Structure 1
C-alpha cells in the first residue's frame, strides 16, 4: 500500500482537495499539511484498487500501526474509509470482511453506512471507568437508566440520509495525540430517535444478523475512535450483544438509517444467505 502512497505527491491538486474539505467543515482541528497526508493515502488506496480491479477496500489497523508506517507518513486510513463509503464503495476497518459484506446495505438502501465497535453501557454506569482504561479510552459522558449500546469508530459518513440527499455537516479532527491522522466528526444524533438497522455476517459468510434500534445521543471525543453514538436496541442492548457472541457473529456492526429488515430478508432469499432477526 505504501508503495502506492510514495507515488502520490502532495501537489497542488492534493492541497486543493484538502482546502475544500477544510472550507466546508464547521470546525477544523488538523493542519492542511497533515490532511494532505491522509488524502495521499486515499488516492494510494484508489490507485491500488484500480490496479487490481477492486470494488471494495479494507486494511489492518493495529498491525498497520505496529509497522510504524502511519507514524512515519503521518496518516491513518480513517478518512479514506469515510470517503469511499460516501462514494458507494464498501470500506471496512481492521480487515473485517464480515462487516464489509454487510455494507451491501448501501446498495439496497442507497444510503451510506457507519461502522464501529459495539460496547455495552450498563444501566447506571460509566463502563470504561470500571474497566480501568480511562487513559486509553474516553468514558461515556452520560449515565443511562437502562442498558444501551455505544458504537464508536473514526469512520462516520456524510450521506447516511441518502446518496441523493444533501450531505450532513461535519468537523475535521485528528486521531492521534500528536495531532495527525484526519477523520470526520458527524453528529449522528442530530435527529432525535433516528431509526437505524444494525447488520453483520457470521464468520462463514452464510448468515446475517440484523436488528433495529434508534439513536439516543452522539459524542465527539478528542482522539482515538470517535464519534461515539448511543443506541437503543429493540430486544435489549445486552441481549443483542449476547446473541452476537452466541451466534458466532463477532464484533463490528454496520449501521444504516431506517428499518430495512424486510428488504434484507428478501435480499437473502434472492442471493442465498440466511437472515437472523434479533428482537
Structure 2
C-alpha cells in the first residue's frame, strides 16, 4: 500500500506540570501573600493553567497532529520525582513521537529525566517566559532533542518539521536497477551510499530489475515473461490496467491547452501505462517514492522499442505527493520528500544552471535548446539569475489539493515523437517566492536556498526544454553551494527556509544557506 509522506501524522503527548506548595510560607521563591500562599490556592491556580493549556491546544493544533489526551502532574516543594509519574508519562511510549510540555520554575528536573528516559523530542509550550531558555540549555547540553518557540505559529512550524522528519524516516523508495542499486551511470552526484542514506535519514529502499519491469508493461503472456519464464505471479499490467491507462490518456489530452497539444494519443497511452504500472508496483512494495535509471535504461533500447519515457509518470506521481525522480536521483527525491511534507505542494526538480551575461549585457548561451535572449527580453535586472529546466513539470505547484494549472502536453523524442511531457508556463508566476533544496552526495551538507521567479521559457517546446528563471540572493554564493550538492535542484513554491534549517539540524547536517 502507498502511504504518502503527507499522510503521516505526528503523535503528540501534551503534559502540564503544575507547582503546588504543601505549606504557606514566604522566601526567595515565594512572591505572593495572604491566601495566595496557601496549598488550596496553588491547586486552583495550577488547574487553571492546565485548563488554559488545553484551550490553547484546541485552538492551535493543526490537522497533521494526532493529539493524545493531555496529562497533568503535580510537582511539590519536596522536590521528589515519583517513579509513577514517569510510568504514566511513558505508558504508551511506542505510540508517542514527541512530548509537548507546559511547565515553569522548579519543574525542569522532570522534563530532563523524561527526555533522558524516553529519548523522545521535547517541545516546549509558548509563553513560558525565562524558563524556556533554562530548559532548552539543560537539554541541549545533554545532547537531548528539544524545540522551543515563543508563539504558537512558530511552534506549529516546529511540529511540521518533526512530522516531516518522521515521514522521511518512514519512507520507502522503489528504485529500478540495471548495473547497480546505488546510482545510475549517468547520475554520479546522487548519494554515494544508500546505506548511509538509511543511517542518516532512516529511509529504506526496495529494488526492481529494469528488464523485469519492461516485461510487466504488457499483459502476462502464456508461459510467463521472457525474463522470468514459468512464473505466473508477476505484476504485469492487466487488460483492466490498460483500459485505465487509456482513460487517463484521454483525460490528459482533453485537459491540455488546445494550442499546446502536440503528441499522438497512442504515445500518451504508452506513458500512462508506465504510470499505472509504477503505481501498481508502489502498492505491491509498500513504497511512497520512485526512481528509475533513465540513461542506463535508455541504452538497452527497450524504451525506444516500447516508445515511452518516464517523464509523465514522474509528474503524475509527484502531483499526488509521491516524489518520483529520473536518473536514480535519490538525492533530489529526499529533498522532494521534505518539501512535499512541509508545504503540501508538489515540488519540481530540474537541471540547474547560473544565467550569465557578457560585458555588453548580452546573455551567454547555455544551450541551443533555450531561447534565453527572447525569454529575458523584458527582464532589465540581470543580476543573480539561475535557471532550472526539465521534462517532468508539475501542474500542482500551488497545492496538491488544488486543481491542476493550465498545461501543455507534448512529446519528448524529437523524431518518433513519443514520451508524453507536461509543459508549464512559469510566466504566470512572476514574483513567486520559491524554496530550493538538495544534499551533498556524502549526506553531510544540505543546500537551502530561496529565489523569486523572474520568467519562464520553453512552454511550446519538446524534450527537456521547459524551464524557469529565478533570482537568488547571491549567484556566486549559490553556485559555490551548488557545486557541493550536484545538478538536480528541488523547488517548491513558498518560503520554507526556516523549517529546512531546523530539519538540517535535526538530521545533523551542515546547512548551506543561500
TM over 0.5: yes
Is 2:486 the partner of 1:254?
Answer: no
Structure (1 or 2) with the larger CA radius of gyration: 2
Distance, in Å, in 2 between the alignment partners of 1:73 and 1:127 is 38
SS in 1 for 2:270: helix
Q: Residue 245 of structure 2: which of 14, 32, 48 is its match?
A: 14
Displacement of 1:127 in angstroms is 3.7
Displacement of 1:5 in angstroms is 1.5
Counterpart in the other structure of 2:405: 168
Give the alignment's TM-score, normalised by structure 2.
0.50
Displacement of 1:156 in angstroms is 1.1
Counterpart in the other structure of 1:3: 215
Is 2:497 the partner of 1:267?
Answer: no
- Which one scores higher on RCO, CA 8 angstroms, separation ≥ 6? 1
What is the RMSD computed on CA atoms of the aligned residues? 1.9
Is 2:355 the partner of 1:121?
Answer: yes
Distance, in Å, in 2 between the alignment partners of 1:181 and 1:107 is 29
Is 2:470 the partner of 1:231?
Answer: yes
Distance, in Å, in 2 between the alignment partners of 1:107 and 1:209 is 18
Matches within 5 A, 1:77-92: 77-92=310-325
Superposed CA offset, 1:180-230 (max 9, x none): 110100123312211101100111223311111111111125222031111
Taking a change above 3 Å as real, the CA distance of residues 92 and 12 of structure 1, as seen in their structure-2 partners, is closer
Structure 2 unaligned spans of 5+: 1-212, 219-235
Displacement of 1:138 in angstroms is 3.2
Q: Residue 343 of structure 2: which of 99, 102, 109 is its match?
A: 109
Is 2:275 the partner of 1:38?
Answer: no
Distance, in Å, in 2 between the alignment partners of 1:250 and 1:75 is 27
Displacement of 1:126 in angstroms is 4.2
Aligned partners of 2:393 and 2:422 also within 8 Å? yes
Counterpart in the other structure of 1:57: 290
SS in 2 for 1:193: coil
Distance, in Å, in 2 between the alignment partners of 1:195 and 1:43 is 33
Superposed CA offset, 1:141-172 (max 9, x none): 44563352110001111111112333211110
Displacement of 1:242 in angstroms is 2.4
Residues paired across the two proteins, number = 270
Distance, in Å, in 1 between the alignment partners of 2:417 and 2:283 is 31
Counterpart in the other structure of 1:203: 441
Counterpart in the other structure of 1:241: 479
SS in 2 for 1:95: coil
